[in-house]
């Protein structure tokens, strides 16, 4: 059978990617945030040579303090350890909404440095753009010795399920020296050599204006930066491929596009926000027209981290979950005939007051992308994103991968008709008024590109 030319191009691109050989016995998937937190702390305690923690933010709450205290104690016991922490420069220097401006995570980092004056654990802030709204450090994957802990979770109480509520994510533990080295080398080569990268645990910080040109130079470098490694696996072996990118035409965006278009049977997507870039929307519709099956697992609006309960003070960010829900309802209504045929499967995740933060793509039980990319316009154009593409041609990891998806689906509701999604006229009065106003002045389109 002759393979259509356009399909061949997508497959050829993936086949030619350099891949790192991966042993199935060294690849583990965790299924809940509390287990991930305990595993992270255990690996920190038993580290022998290096600990690189990378997250959007490390919060000054119980979970953040627990992790930072564990790092300091480990460094005291093993002073030879190379320990570094990297967070977004902008996010670390502002407090939460409603808090005093002086109460930032950076102030906490400085207090910890003063508490342990003879122990040096640098905490670096990395600015991806001049303003937070124009791009953040959304890089994922902490490295402890030769193990990569890949999750979309940042470090705070809800992401690590330290207290009552949790934010659900993916948690992959991959032991692979070449993979770990490539991710550490990227950080050392681009973050630590840049004048834009600043220590946040010092008492004084440079202003955005002072490092404006340095930020511009760093972003320019990152636009052409890749993970450096020597591929040692063929297309018949279990393998991993690290991918990184920032701005519209980056390597990760291209891989996602190619990945979707090689689907022969089924593509499954997880995203917390239904706000897909136009290219992914077109790719999905193309799959449906070809007779492929598409499953979308999305967070319900009440599982969105921007959701504000009706009994709480409302602000403009609280309108975002409703904007995303309107997108979803319109999408299902447009493609209802594919839902009726069982080709398009829509699942909404909800578990009480807990929130949903999963991202990723599964293609034909052979290609699996773990990523922090939200599959939205912001991730596509502004933030520094990465991912690890898992190729499992012999289905060596089929059981844990299926368990991961089954666990995700446990808290979902199957949507069989667009009318199951609440119509906007039934939204709370203040939400309905906000959305109507935003739509009238067309600023809702801008908001969905930036948040």
Active site residue 164: no
Selected catalytic residue, list 169, 300, 325, 392:
169
For the chain, how far is it from start to end, CA to CA, in angstroms?
Answer: 45
CA-derived radius of gyration, the chain: 22
Positive or negative torsion for Cα 142, 144, 145, 151: negative
H or E segment at 82?
strand 82-88
Selected catalytic residue, list 90, 138, 258, 391:
138
Most distant CA pair in the chain, distance: 69
Other residues' Cβ atoms within 10 Å of the Cβ of residue 135:
24
How do strand 167-168 and strand 355-356 relate by DSSP bridges? Answer: parallel
Among 50, 380, 324, which Cα is nearest to 188's?
Answer: 50
Count Cα neighbours of 334 within 13 Å in the Cβ-side half-sphere: 10
Strand partners, 151: 171
**How far apart, in whole angstroms, are the C-alpha atoms of residue 424 and residue 358?**
25
Strand partners, 31: none
Count Cα neighbours of 142 within 13 Å in the Cβ-side half-sphere: 31
Active site residue 13: no
**How far apart, in whole angstroms, are the C-alpha atoms of residue 297 and residue 411?**
10
Place of tokens 């124009």: 134
Place of tokens 């002072």: 210
Range list of H helices, 30-83: 33-45, 62-77
Strand partners, 348: 298, 413
Active site residue 205: no
Place of tokens 């999963």: 358
Packed helices 5-15 and 251-261: angle between N→C axes, nearest 10 degrees = 130
Spell out the residues 6+ positions from residue 435 whose beta carbon is closer than 8 angstroms to its own: 319, 322, 323, 326, 424, 427, 444
Active site residue 169: yes
**How far apart, in whole angstroms, are the C-alpha atoms of residue 351 and residue 372?**
21
Residue 191 DSSP class: I
User: 430 and 424 in contact (C-beta within 8 Å)?
Assistant: no
**How far apart, in whole angstroms, are the C-alpha atoms of residue 298 and residue 291?**
22
**How far apart, in whole angstroms, are the C-alpha atoms of residue 429 and residue 137?**
36
Selected catalytic residue, list 161, 258, 357, 391:
357
- Catalytic site positions: 138, 169, 357, 385
């Amino acid at each position: 059978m002759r393979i259509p030319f356009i399909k061949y191009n997508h497959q050829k691109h993936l086949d030619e990617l350099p891949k790192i050989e991966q042993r199935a016995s060294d690849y583990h998937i965790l299924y809940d945030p509390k287990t991930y937190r305990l595993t992270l702390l255990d690996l920190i305690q038993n580290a022998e040579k290096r600990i690189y923690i990378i997250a959007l933010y490390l919060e000054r709450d119980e979970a953040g303090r627990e992790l930072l205290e564990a790092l300091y104690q480990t460094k005291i016991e093993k002073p030879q350890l190379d320990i570094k922490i990297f967070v977004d420069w902008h996010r670390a220097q502002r407090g939460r909404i409603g808090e005093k401006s002086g109460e930032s995570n950076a102030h906490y980092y400085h207090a910890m440095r003063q508490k342990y004056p003879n122990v040096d654990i640098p905490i670096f802030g990395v600015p991806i753009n001049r303003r937070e709204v124009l791009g953040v450090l959304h890089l994922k994957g902490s490295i402890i010795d030769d193990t990569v802990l890949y999750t979309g979770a940042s470090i705070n109480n809800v992401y690590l399920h330290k207290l009552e509520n949790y934010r659900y994510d993916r948690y992959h533990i991959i032991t692979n020296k070449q993979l770990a080295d490539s991710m550490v080398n990227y950080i050392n080569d681009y973050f630590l050599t840049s004048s834009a990268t600043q220590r946040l645990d010092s008492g004084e910080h440079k202003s955005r204006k002072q490092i404006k040109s340095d930020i511009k130079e760093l972003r320019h470098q990152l636009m052409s930066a890749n993970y450096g490694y020597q591929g040692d696996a063929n297309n018949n072996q279990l393998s991993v491929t690290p991918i990184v990118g920032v701005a519209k035409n980056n390597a990760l965006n291209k891989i996602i596009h190619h990945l979707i278009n090689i689907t022969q049977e089924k593509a499954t997507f997880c995203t917390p926000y239904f706000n897909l870039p136009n290219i992914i929307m077109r790719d999905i519709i193309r799959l449906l027209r070809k007779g492929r099956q598409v499953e979308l697992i999305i967070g319900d609006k009440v599982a969105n981290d921007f959701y504000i309960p009706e009994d709480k003070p409302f602000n403009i960010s609280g309108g975002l979950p409703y904007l995303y829900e309107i997108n979803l309802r319109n999408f299902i209504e447009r493609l209802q005939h594919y839902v009726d045929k069982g080709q398009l499967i829509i699942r909404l995740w909800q578990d009480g007051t807990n929130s949903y933060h999963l991202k990723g793509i599964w293609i034909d039980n052979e290609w699996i992308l773990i990523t922090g990319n939200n599959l939205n316009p912001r991730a596509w154009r502004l933030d520094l994103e990465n991912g690890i593409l898992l190729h499992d041609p012999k289905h060596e990891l089929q059981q844990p991968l299926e368990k991961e998806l089954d666990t995700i689906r446990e808290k979902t509701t199957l949507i069989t008709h667009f009318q199951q999604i609440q119509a906007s006229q039934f939204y709370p009065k203040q939400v309905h008024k906000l959305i109507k106003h935003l739509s009238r002045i067309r600023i809702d389109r801008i908001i969905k590109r930036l948040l």
